[in-house]
A and B are shown apart, each in its own frame.
Chain A
Amino acid sequence: MACERHVDALTALALGGPLEPEVAAHLAVCSACQAWLAGEQSVAAAVDHALALVARVEPEGDFHVRLRMTAERAAPVMRHAWWWSAAAVAAAILTLVVVRVPPTDSLPAAATVSIPTTPALPPSVPSDVAAATAPHDRAPVVRVARAARDRRSTATPPEPHVLVPAGQAEAIVRLFGNLPADSGPVGLAASPAPVGQAPGVGDIDRIVVPPIVIEALVVPRPLLLAPEPQK
């Protein structure tokens, strides 16, 4: 065993630290510390020897080719991932621009979303199918109206001011429908078309939602997948 007051210095020395003059003088006369230092150095050498193995071993043969092939095989679709990402971001921005949600401080107590419906189709029909089968002379828009900010105000509610393509109407309704239960009154009701409605628009589904802020749009996973091969 080394002299206790020199143990730390000897360990540091064995690990490549400097040899302090005081320790050097002590080492010259203390055989116990010399043996201790030799032991520490042999441990350090064993560690170095084992670790040196890591740098000595090389991958076999055409390792780089195998790396490349594996990477490409694992990710054939993602070659143009940047393009899909850019498209998804652009779609999200476009949606946010079209559905202009007011900032929190100017949100009304409630908002009304008016959606033209196609009476011939059941409500369960997907929106893209509904859009595809809808007559072209119908106005393919959804009108989003703000209620008066102050509910006590007796002023006439403002006119609808945001138009949304009909193909996105159901998605918006779903978005509102997915709001947490405690987020306020959410309801869907049928009502007659308002006076002055665009020609061809029939009954109106009306959804009443509390003020919301859309923080982010999540692009559905299937958008990032490659198209199914033609059978």
Chain B
Amino acid sequence: MSAESEVDRDFEDRIRDSGRLAFHIAYGVLRQRQDAEEIAQEAFARAFHRLHQLRDRERFRAWLTRTTWRLAIDRWRADRRREARELQNVDAWRPSVEQVAVERERARHVWLAIDRLPEKLRIVTVLAAIEGHDTREVALLLDIPEGTVKSRLFSARRQLAERLRWLANDTSTR
């Protein structure tokens, strides 16, 4: 087998192995399918450049996690800046509470709270959701101790609970 086809097959395996992971990480930040796909594609394009440096599978997945997260956060920040600019120019339309389903509105507030978490807490929260709360896997992806993942996860949930407590009160007064 030629070296080129070996590289092709190796890359193919990694796409199958980690493609969904990259997509889910990006989706966890952006919540837009199209945007998440673009970010995953960009991350894999970069991975293709570095394939020779990322022979180890675990290392590859950790690198891909960090790169995808970084790219997604950059896109998310750029989107927020763009939205802020657009809102300055367009004051005419605002969705009223009546126009938006209550559950959707609640989910939006939850995501706003997640977005406001410090980055270290946010990434463990999103990765834990993707990996079904498997803290060991999250620790491997972030290359940090499992105990650190657990404590960050707890801190994140606690901050979310504090920020979203009004949601519970809102529901109870309904």
- Chain A residues close to B by CB (< 8 Å): 11-12, 14-15, 35, 38-40, 42-44, 46-47, 49-55, 57-60, 63-64, 66-68, 70-75, 78-79, 81-82, 85
Residues of B within 8 A of A73 (CB): 45
Residue in chain B with minimal CB distance to A50: B110
Residues of B within 8 A of A39 (CB): 165, 168-169, 172
How far is A130 from B44 in the complex, measured between Cα atoms in Å? Answer: 45
- In B133-163, the 8 Å CB interface with A consists of 154, 157-158, 160-161
Interface of A is mostly: helix
Number of A-B contacts (CB under 8 A): 124
Interface of B is mostly: helix
Known: A42-B168, A70-B44. A60 touches B129 (CB 8 A): no
Q: Tell me if B60 is interfacial: C-beta within 8 Å of chain A.
A: no
Residues of A within 8 A of B167 (CB): 42-43, 46
Residues of B within 8 A of A51 (CB): 28, 114, 125-126, 128-129
How far is A85 from B50 in the complex, measured between Cα atoms in Å? Answer: 11
Please give the distance in Å from A11's CB to the nearest CB on chain B.
Answer: 6
Residues of B within 8 A of A14 (CB): 161
Q: Tell me if B12 is interfacial: C-beta within 8 Å of chain A.
A: yes
Residue in chain B with minimal CB distance to A15: B157
How far is A78 from B113 in the complex, measured between Cα atoms in Å? Answer: 41
Residues of A within 8 A of B87 (CB): none
How far is A55 from B133 in the complex, measured between Cα atoms in Å? Answer: 11
Whether A67 lies near B27 (C-beta < 8 A) is: no
